[in-house]
Amino acid sequence: MLPWIDAMRGLAILMVLANHVALQVPGLSGPLRALASFGQMGVQLFFVASAYTLCLSWQQRRGNERRPLLSFLLRRFFRIAPLYWFAIALFFGLGLLLAEQQTGSPYNWANIWANVFFVHGLLPAAQNSVVPGGWSIGVEMVFYLLFPALLALHLRLLPTLGRWTGPLLVAIACGLNLLWQTGSVGNNSAAYFHPINQIAVFLIGLSWFEWQRGAASQMAPKPALECLIAGLAFAVTALLWRSGLALAFALLPMTAGLGFAALGQLCSQWSRLPAALLALGRASYAVYIIHILFAWHGLHALQSVQPLQGDLAYLLALGLVTLLSYGAARLLGLAIERPGIGLGARLIHRINRPAQLSSQGFTLLKGLK
């Protein structure tokens, strides 16, 4: 994988950690509180990076597999499912032990099975009630199912519409979302978590990949323009956040996604990236899955012994949670994530092996010669 993609993922998980730790530490200064709150948009950075890497992987493997669609789906399933199923069991157990800390919809078998089969993104009661933050995994899995069709549509329209293909698809997705939403879309509401509210972000990542492969490859780097686009997109995101508009949080994911695509384009030109950020990015999925154990339960327990308050306490807590989450993620990677990916790779290899001729078929073929 490209190092700068790992850097984007590292930044995304740092943003998520910053946001969740801030929820447990009161008394932050205004600017730090605002910056930590914006960390919520790290999920949209994950979505943009995910769409880009899916396009890259699809392009690299095109023509090398007998069953590309099935291989793609299996590869994504075994990348996500084993660790997510572990998280279901972990947080179910914690929910039973620490019932007084449980928030949101209660654990029940309907919500649990919805998460097991990755349809929870479509069901409000199941979106975030089993695995904290699991709503984004539900959205990812929906996009994995849609990705081959969306990519095929983009490539079909590209010869006719050219550089306008991506913006048109993003605009259509955004328009359909606004038509689908009824009433207001609150921050962290079921409507906000729904895949239709996030699909434009994935389309931005897909369009960015195709633009970079096509038009951008013929252009000289323009870091000043990319900084300007990212700055404007993030400024619009901040204004929408504070606007109080009923559908502000139906537009926020898209504006943040545009900013992250511009930031990613800028990042792709850097040859030197922080090693710690790259390492965090490579472990970002496992960190995302496990960090609530420390950012929520761990800090909650620590607050009962040693109250944490203010900017310095927050920064120390963020550093501690990051280190603990990364350490746990490395262990989960060795114990669950890598074996799951390896199992998927062996299955994909098996289904893509050339068909073996039967002994009768081989004899007949030999006779024809």
Q: What tokens appear for 76 in the block? A: 């994504």
User: Which of 29-38, 89-98, 279-288 is least confident?
Assistant: 89-98
Q: Please tell me the predicted confidence (pLDDT) of residue 266.
A: 92
Q: What is the mean pLDDT of residues 109-115?
A: 93
Q: Please tell me the predicted confidence (pLDDT) of residue 98.
A: 72
High-pLDDT (> 70) share of the chain, %:
92
Q: How does residue 150 score in pLDDT terms, banded at 50, 70 and 90?
A: very high
Is the pLDDT score of 351 beyond 70? yes
Is the pLDDT score of 136 beyond 80? yes
User: What pLDDT, in 10s, does the model give residues 29-39?
Assistant: 999 999 999 99
- Asked if residues 251 and 240 have their Cβ atoms less than 8 Å apart, the reply is yes
C-alpha span between 138 and 195 (Å, rounded): 8
Q: How does residue 364 score in pLDDT terms, banded at 50, 70 and 90?
A: very low
C-alpha span between 71 and 79 (Å, rounded): 12
- Asked if residues 321 and 21 have their Cβ atoms less than 8 Å apart, the reply is yes
The rounded mean pLDDT for the chain is 91
Q: How does residue 251 score in pLDDT terms, banded at 50, 70 and 90?
A: very high
Q: What tokens appear for 273 in the block? A: 């990236």
CB atoms inside a 10 Å sphere around CB 227: 13
Q: Please tell me the predicted confidence (pLDDT) of residue 63.
A: 79
211 vs 177, higher pLDDT: 177
212 vs 299, higher pLDDT: 299
Q: Please tell me the predicted confidence (pLDDT) of residue 360.
A: 52
Is the pLDDT score of 359 beyond 60? no
Burial 133-163 (b: 16+ CB within 10 A, else e): bbbbbbbbbbbbeebeebbeebeeeeeeeee
Is the pLDDT score of 211 beyond 50? yes
Q: Please tell me the predicted confidence (pLDDT) of residue 362.
A: 46
User: Which of 98-112, 115-129, 324-338 is least confident?
Assistant: 98-112
- Asked if residues 139 and 118 have their Cβ atoms less than 8 Å apart, the reply is no
C-alpha span between 107 and 122 (Å, rounded): 17
Q: How does residue 358 score in pLDDT terms, banded at 50, 70 and 90?
A: very low
Q: What is the mean pLDDT of residues 268-273?
A: 88
Q: Please tell me the predicted confidence (pLDDT) of residue 218.
A: 64
Q: Please tell me the predicted confidence (pLDDT) of residue 355.
A: 60
- Tell me the domain boundaries of the chain: 3-351
pTM of the model: 0.92
**How far does CA 107 lie from the centroid of its chain?**
24
Q: How does residue 215 score in pLDDT terms, banded at 50, 70 and 90?
A: low
| Ramachandran angles phi, psi of 107, nearest 5° | -65, 135
Q: What is the mean pLDDT of residues 44-62?
A: 93
Helices assigned H by DSSP within the chain: 3-22, 30-38, 42-61, 68-97, 109-116, 135-161, 165-180, 190-193, 195-213, 223-243, 248-267, 275-282, 284-292, 299-305, 311-332, 338-351, 359-368
C-alpha span between 369 and 367 (Å, rounded): 5
Q: How does residue 354 score in pLDDT terms, banded at 50, 70 and 90?
A: confident
CB atoms inside a 10 Å sphere around CB 299: 20
